[in-house]
Amino acid sequence: MKVAITSTGNNLESKLDLRFGRCGYFIIYDTETKGMEFIPNPNKDATEGAGPASVQLVASKGAKKVVSGEFGFKVKSIFDSLQIQLIVLKDNEKKISDIIELLNHENLN
Amino acid sequence: MFTIFVLNICSLFMSPRPSRLRKISNPPVISGFRPYGNKNIKGKVEAVFLHFEEYEALRLCDYEMLNHHQASVLMNVSRPTLTRIYARARQKIAEALVKGSQISIEGGKIYFDSEWFLCSSCGCYFNNPEKQVEIKECPLCKSTSFSVYAENNNNEEEEEEEEEEE
């Protein structure tokens, strides 16, 4: 299953971006193949509609879960209709590698 | 003639409309009741399975003292449906009391009103996009220690924070 994570930078040591629509990078992590893909967010500096556009991007990559710090109300309803699970982490000190470790941890148990 | 024909075809090939999901705003704090002191009953008495929706109907009608119409709106079903659920709840509880059987609260076609859950081990919040499917574990750390996150609590917390800032 693919999980999208919002990130501030394009490496594993960068931290989780608490904004969804205007995050720096999206990381699409595949829990089965352990493969990951870094996608720079094209909507980073958008003045309007960054959220819905980012949803399109994430959904087109086939993610079933999205990890971020916060989701706007527009985004939430679109994700609901696409049946994508939202995970809110209000901890901006968490690194991407920490989150991936958490996701891997689940597979071991 | 044609209508009768269509109706016949429909009854042969179409299944009935699936029942609406019932909305549960307060899940029960316990998962059932066990009788004690059953000296006269020999052998094991089968448990009575009280569905979540029946528990909720009973809670709304007999604990919150709402009428059936108000309760039906809260559970997102029609008034006659709520009355049927409520009647079934009373019937089951009476059966359990008379037979001295255990009551187990489980099952039913329901969804929880609170859409958000809070995981106590990794501290994340998550929602359930598929309302029909019960969440068994935290999607991030797979721990089973999560609780329903009431949005009312959230507002209270925010209010408190605002007050502190002032």
Are B82 and B24 in the same domain?
yes
CATH label of the domain that carries residue B150: 2.20.28
Q: Residue A68: pLDDT above 50?
A: yes
Are B125 and B163 in the same domain?
yes
B135 touching chain A per CB within 8 A: no
Count of structural domains, chain A? 1
CA distance A88 to chain B (A): 5
SS (H, E, C) chain A: CEEEEEECCCCCCCEECCCCCCCCEEEEEECCCCCEEEEECCCCCCCCCHHHHHHHHHHHCCEEEEEECCCCHHHHHHHHHHCCEEEECCCCCCEHHHHHHHHHHHHHC
Q: What per-residue confidence (pLDDT) applies to B87? A: 95
Q: Structure tokens of A91?
A: 């901890």
**Quick count: other Cβ atoms within 10 Å of Cβ B106?**
13
* Domain finish residue from B92, B113, B134: B113
C-alpha distances out from residue A83 to A1, A16, B7, B131, Å: 14, 23, 35, 10
Q: What per-residue confidence (pLDDT) applies to B134? A: 67
SS (H, E, C) B72-92: HHHHCCCHHHHHHHHHHHHHH
Count of structural domains, chain B? 2
Residue of A nearest to B132 (CA): A83
Are B82 and B23 in the same domain?
yes
Amino acid letter for position B32: G
Residue A101 inside a domain? The answer is: no
Rounded distance, CA A66 to CA B166, Å? Answer: 34
Q: What per-residue confidence (pLDDT) applies to B131? A: 63
Residue B3 inside a domain? The answer is: no
Confidence band of B10 (pLDDT split at 50, 70, 90):
low
Residue B124: list chain A partners with CB under 8 A: 67, 87-89
Are B48 and B107 in the same domain?
yes
pLDDT digits (tens, 9 = 90+) for B60-75: 999 989 999 999 988 8
Q: For the residues A47-75, what does the mean pLDDT come to? A: 84
For CA atoms B75, B77, B78, B82, the dihedral sign is: negative
Q: What does residue B93 show for φ and ψ, rounded to 5 degrees?
A: -65, -40
B64 touching chain A per CB within 8 A: no
Rounded distance, CA B53 to CA B126, Å? Answer: 24
Residue percentage of chain A with pLDDT more than 70: 96
Q: For the residues B73-97, what does the mean pLDDT come to? A: 93
Q: For the residues B113-119, what does the mean pLDDT come to? A: 72
Q: Is B37 helix (H, G, I), strand (E, B) or coil?
A: coil
Are B68 and B135 in the same domain?
no
Are B102 and B118 in the same domain?
no
Residues 35-94 of A with CB under 8 A from B: 65, 67, 79-80, 82-91
Asked if B71 and B3 touch (Cβ cutoff 8 Å), the reply is no
Residue B93 inside a domain? The answer is: yes
Confidence band of B50 (pLDDT split at 50, 70, 90):
very high
Rounded to the nearest integer, the mean pLDDT of chain A is 82
Residue A88: list chain B partners with CB under 8 A: 116, 124-126
Chain A to chain B Cβ contacts (< 8 Å): 47
Residue A103 inside a domain? The answer is: no
Are B84 and B64 in the same domain?
yes
Are B84 and B164 in the same domain?
no
Return all residues near B7 (Cβ < 8 A) that are at least 6 apart. none
Q: Residue B94: pLDDT above 70?
A: yes
CATH label of the domain that carries residue A70: 3.30.420.130
Among A65, A83, A90, select the one facing B130 at the smallest CB separation.
Answer: A83
DSSP state at residue B121: T
Are B101 and B50 in the same domain?
yes
Are B76 and B132 in the same domain?
no
Residue B7 inside a domain? The answer is: no
Residue B163 inside a domain? The answer is: yes
Are B75 and B88 in the same domain?
yes
Domain housing B25: 18-35+44-113
Domain housing A40: 2-96
Residue A20 inside a domain? The answer is: yes
Asked if B126 and A68 touch (Cβ cutoff 8 Å), the reply is no
Sheet holding A36-40, edge to edge: A36-40, A25-30, A2-7, A63-68, A85-88, B125-127, B116-119, B146-149
Are residues A106 and B123, on separate chains, in Cβ contact within 8 Å?
no
Asked if A2 and A28 touch (Cβ cutoff 8 Å), the reply is yes
Residue A106 inside a domain? The answer is: no
Are B56 and B119 in the same domain?
no
